[in-house]
Each structure stands twice: as structure tokens, then as C-alpha cells.
């Protein structure tokens, strides 16, 4: 079964530069474990793609529209459908001093940002520096080895994956309630202060409305937990002990008062006997 435009899929792939066999992108940890660029902290997993939606290179998008689920893909993408042909006009020679404080730190091959553009330093000499503003892989043919892991049909799977596409959180942290035409999304507290979170929410909403048009509204809920530790509050046991101590002290005081009263009565009685004895002697 071929894919149609707008299909949501999970794609597992490794992308290489054809003439050098260099891997520049992959979702497969096993393909890069021995490479210096391998990141042990990165989670390598199939990528969510909207087929024909422009989320990937034009050549890959077109190839996916002609692909079938469960069929391994080997795709070769020419420069014009990848990162473009090299443009000589994008290579500029500029005074080294224009780099400011970094002028004495840069070296050939460094990637810099200049005039809001990303460029690669190709040459340094005679107080000048050559900066190439072409994409790093411009003019290169790419090769993709891929397979479609799954086509998402269930709305719950679509919602979870579309949220996670824009937020770096685990699927287990995503909580939502689908109330017919309204969706309530509860994001984890550690996302509340992410830079640009409001723009991210807008992007998530746009994606969900596009792929689940039956929804009419989306509500984002923020829930804050009480940060006061329960350890700072006296426990029930401690309260019981305090009450018991208070009661014990009270009982002791009552006994002391009772003892004093009994002693007073005894002393009074002794005094009375003593007076009576004296009268009898007389």
C-alpha cells in the first residue's frame, strides 16, 4: 500500500554523503556507535514525518509518496532536491577584523554566524578571511537507507507523537483528555519555563488541528505541585506525643496538688490532737 500526502509515519533511516560515505543524520544507534559523532545521551529512535508536508528534504518527500509500507527504501537524492547546488556568489572574502573579538580565535573549517547567516571559513591570510555561506552539503548527492516502521492511524498515537515532535519529553510524560471535539493537554511542570513555550503550544495546536480536523479546540493546563516538604510539617505521631506529654504533665500537677491538700488536712488534724492533749493535762 502506497502512502498518500498527509500520512503520518515513523521513519527509521540513515543518511549519508554518497561520495564520502559520511553519515550526517541517523535514527539508528548501531550505525554510528563507532563514530566520533556518536552521542550516548541522545535517544536514537524512528522519526515522525508528515508525508508530503515539507518536513524533510524535497527529494526524500517525493520518494516517500511513491513508497510502500514494509518495503525497504534505498533513495538517492541529487543536490537540486537536497541542499542545493553550490553558488559561487555565496563565497565572500571579508576583512578579518569584521569578526571582532573572535578574529584571532577562528581557524579554517570553523562554522561562524555573520550578518545573520551561517558560514564556513575556507581561507585565512593577509588580514582577510574567506567565508562560504553555501550549506555544508551543497552540491552533494545524498543516499538514504530507510524503512517505514509504522503509519499512524489512531488519533491517540497522532496526538502523543505530534506533541513530542515539538517538545523534548518522554511519551510517558504526555497527559491529555480527548473530550469529543475538545482536547485538554496537561504538560509536565518542567516544560513551563522552556524558552518560546507559547510558540511551541501554538505549533502543537496547528499540527493537531491539521491531522485531526474533527477537533474544535485545544486547552493547555498548567498544574503546580506544592513544593513544601511534608517533612517540615509536624507528623500525627509527633502531635500525639506532644499531647501525651502535656497530659502526663497535667496528671503530675494534679497529683501534686492532691498531695498538698492531703498533707494540709493531716497537719490540721495533728494540730487539733495536740491542742486537745494539752487541755486534758491541764
Q: Tell me which of 152, 185, 206 is where a domain ends.
A: 152
pLDDT band at 162 (very low <50, low <70, confident <90, very high): very high
Q: How far is CA 63 from CA 73, 180, 257, in A?
A: 9, 36, 98
Q: What is the DSSP code string of 258-282?
A: HHHHHHHHHHHHHHHHHHHHHHHH-
Pair (81, 15) in one structural domain:
yes
Q: Is 38 contained in some domain?
A: yes
Pair (50, 81) in one structural domain:
yes
Pair (20, 110) in one structural domain:
no
What confidence tens digit (pLDDT) does each residue in 94-137 have? 999 999 888 888 999 999 998 889 999 999 998 999 999 999 99
What confidence tens digit (pLDDT) does each residue in 165-204 have? 999 888 888 899 998 899 999 999 889 999 999 999 999 9
Pair (125, 42) in one structural domain:
no
Q: Which residues contact 162 (CB under 8 A, 6 or more apart)?
A: 8, 48, 204, 207, 208, 211
Pair (19, 103) in one structural domain:
no
Pair (148, 36) in one structural domain:
yes
Pair (109, 237) in one structural domain:
no
Mode of pairing for the β-strands spanning 111-114 and 117-125: antiparallel
Q: Is 162 contained in some domain?
A: no
Domain of 67, in residue numbers = 1-85+142-152
What confidence tens digit (pLDDT) does each residue in 10-49 have? 999 999 999 999 999 999 999 999 988 899 889 899 999 9
Pair (81, 5) in one structural domain:
yes
Q: Is 205 contained in some domain?
A: no
Q: Is 43 contained in some domain?
A: yes
The domain that holds 110 is classified in CATH as 2.40.10.330
Pair (101, 33) in one structural domain:
no
Amino acid at each position: 500500500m502506497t502512502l498518500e500526502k498527509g500520512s503520518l509515519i515513523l521513519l527509521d533511516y540513515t543518511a549519508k554523503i554518497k561520495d564520502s560515505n559520511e553519515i550526517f543524520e541517523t535514527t539508528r544507534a548501531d550505525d554510528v556507535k563507532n563514530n566520533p559523532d556518536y552521542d550516548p545521551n541522545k535517544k536514537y529512535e524512528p522519526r515522525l514525518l508528515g508525508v508530503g508536508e515539507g518536513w524533510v528534504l524535497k527529494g526524500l518527500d517525493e520518494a516517500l509518496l511513491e513508497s510502500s509500507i514494509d518495503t525497504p527504501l534505498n533513495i538517492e537524492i541529487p543536490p537540486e532536491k537536497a541542499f542545493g547546488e553550490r553558488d559561487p556568489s555565496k563565497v565572500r572574502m571579508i576583512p578579518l577584523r569584521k569578526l571582532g573579538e573572535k578574529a584571532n580565535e577562528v581557524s579554517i573549517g570553523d562554522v561562524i554566524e555573520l550578518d545573520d547567516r551561517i558560514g564556513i571559513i575556507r581561507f585565512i591570510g593577509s588580514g582577510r578571511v574567506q567565508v562560504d555561506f553555501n550549506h555544508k552539503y551543497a552540491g552533494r548527492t545524498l543516499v538514504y537507507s530507510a524503512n517505514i516502521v509504522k503509519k499512524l492511524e489512531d488519533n491517540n498515537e497522532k496526538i502523543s507523537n505530534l506533541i513530542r515532535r515539538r517538545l523534548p519529553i518522554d511519551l510517558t510524560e504526555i497527559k491529555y483528555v480527548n473530550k469529543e471535539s475538545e482536547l485538554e493537554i496537561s504538560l509536565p511542570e518542567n516544560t513551563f519555563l522552556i524558552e518560546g513555550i507559547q510558540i511551541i503550544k501554538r505549533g502543537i495546536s496547528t499540527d493537531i488541528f491539521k491531522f485531526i480536523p474533527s477537533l474544535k479546540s485545544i486547552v493547555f493546563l498548567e498544574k503546580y505541585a506544592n513544593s513544601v516538604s511534608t517533612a517540615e510539617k509536624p507528623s500525627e505521631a509527633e502531635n500525639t506525643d506532644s499531647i501525651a506529654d502535656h497530659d502526663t504533665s497535667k496528671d503530675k500537677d494534679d497529683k501534686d496538688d492532691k498531695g498538698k491538700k492531703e498533707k494540709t488536712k493531716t497537719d490540721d488534724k495533728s494540730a487539733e490532737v495536740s491542742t486537745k492533749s494539752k487541755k486534758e493535762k491541764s
